Amino acid sequence: MINIMRKTIWHYENNNIKRKVTKIRIEEKSGSKINKLSKIDKIQRGKYFVLCSLMIYGGLFVSLNSSEIFADKNEYTILVTSELDNNKPSDNINDDNSNNSNTQKSIPETAKGPAIPSKGYLVEEIRDGLYWVTDGAYQTIFLLTDNGVVAVDAPPSIGKNYLKAISEVTDKPITHVIYSHGHIDHIGAASIFPKNAVYIAQEDTATELQRAKSLATNSSMVPPIPSVTFSNNYNLEIGNQLLKLDYHGPNHYDGNIFIYAPKQKVLMLVDVIFPGWVPFPYLAVSKDIAGYIKAHNIVLDNYEFDTFVGGHLTRLGTIEDVKIQKDFISDLQNAAAKANNEILLSDIAKQVGGFKNPWAVFAKYNDAVDERIAQEISPKWEAKLGGVRDVIKSHGFAMSEAGRIDPTAQVLLHDSTFVYR
């Protein structure tokens, strides 16, 4: 049994709160090894919330600033110290893991998806033997064929519930496994599938997994290496079922493929389009922003589909969701280009007393650009997409920085060459 506990300690000076220390402890009570755990927690840091993603999967991975991490065999403790303004805790400081009512009210109805049953997952047929399974944060698909089941991805957050979902539908064996791309949050639990299944991925995904395995002291941390790879296209046809796997170049990540079921008119593209929501922070941490932008046009110009599967969040999508996000990305491009051209690095340097501390200059510059983009974008999109207020500045940074340093993104954002001034 795994327990997750948090404790907040308020430090006062002259009756004014100066900082708070939040302690999060993740403990395995049975004494056995912790194999996997996914949790998202919000920690109040001053006036801001920092999203802390904790993932234990053969180790501890934390995305958090100013933290100390202590670990022993069965217990992980994180101490987070936050400097606060000179005022006492108010009612909006929330030390539990529930969302407050204001956050719930800010989510548009179009962002909300089906309720997740108490068993922890939802499995439904889309059509003609193609099913989707979701835990409300991650989603994927599997296809029934004459010979068995083709499983796509294996998100650790769903884990063995994926097998339970399949068993609710059929007792046929899993014969094929397709990787959408190489990110562990989508394929990290693939070892739950039979070793004799055929594992298929684009060649860049296979190369990355081979690299990881060559460096790993514990090779079980690395998902099974694909036994079948392809460069641009691969058709998996079993009986009367067909999945078309296409690679159009880098977008979110090298090797991220388009998975198309023409009979069912379903398209899956992971970590690019998020139906009803803005993308995951920093444009889904995309490796190639220009490719990420281009992917929207590829979806709309090359595939005829009724249902879209994005790999994340609350619901399935439609072609309309793709068009809406394309419009959002277009507005973000325009706002980033405008902010890049209007906010001058030289002006920011004057505000902080020159370049004695260059990182202070760039930090203030980035903050100014991100804030300008947020002001430009938020009013239009807060009522249309979920999460705008939470992550818009991260998107502003990702897009504006790409426009400053990446040649192709610069062409997309700016009419003329951008230079720091």
- Is 111 domain-assigned? no
Residue type, 39: K
- Is 281 domain-assigned? yes
Confidence of residue 414 (pLDDT cuts 50, 70, 90): confident
Q: Which of 61-75, 191-205, 392-406 has the lowest mean pLDDT?
A: 61-75
Q: Mean pLDDT highest for which of 52-61, 318-327, 406-415?
A: 318-327
105-125 average pLDDT score: 92
Residues 188 and 302 in one domain: yes
Residues 128 and 56 in one domain: no
- Is 66 domain-assigned? yes
The total number of residues written for the chain in this structure? 421
Is the per-residue pLDDT at 132 higher than 90?
yes
Residues 402 and 286 in one domain: no
- Which of 317, 341, 365 is the C-terminal boundary of a domain? 317
31-63 pLDDT per residue, tens: 444 443 333 333 333 322 223 333 333 333 333
Domains: count for the chain: 3
199-227 pLDDT per residue, tens: 999 999 999 999 999 999 998 899 999 99
Question: Which candidate, 245, 115, 237, places its Cα nearest to that of 179?
Answer: 245
Residues 296 and 343 in one domain: no
- Tokens at 203, concatenated: 């060649």
- Is 45 domain-assigned? yes
Residues 212 and 122 in one domain: yes
- Tokens at 194, concatenated: 């039979």
Residues 300 and 168 in one domain: yes
**Helices marked H in 216-313:** 281-285, 289-302
- In DSSP terms, 54 is beta-bridged to 39, 62
Per-residue model confidence (pLDDT) at position 413: 86
Residues 135 and 257 in one domain: yes
Per-residue model confidence (pLDDT) at position 67: 37
Per-residue model confidence (pLDDT) at position 36: 36
CA distance 191 to 187: 9
15-29 pLDDT per residue, tens: 444 444 444 554 444
Per-residue model confidence (pLDDT) at position 416: 52
Residues 15 and 67 in one domain: yes
Q: Residue 234 sits in which domain range?
A: 116-317
Specify the CATH number for the domain of residue 126. 3.60.15.10
Residues 313 and 335 in one domain: no
Q: Within 13 A of 193's CA, how many CA atoms are on the CB side? A: 33
- Is 96 domain-assigned? no
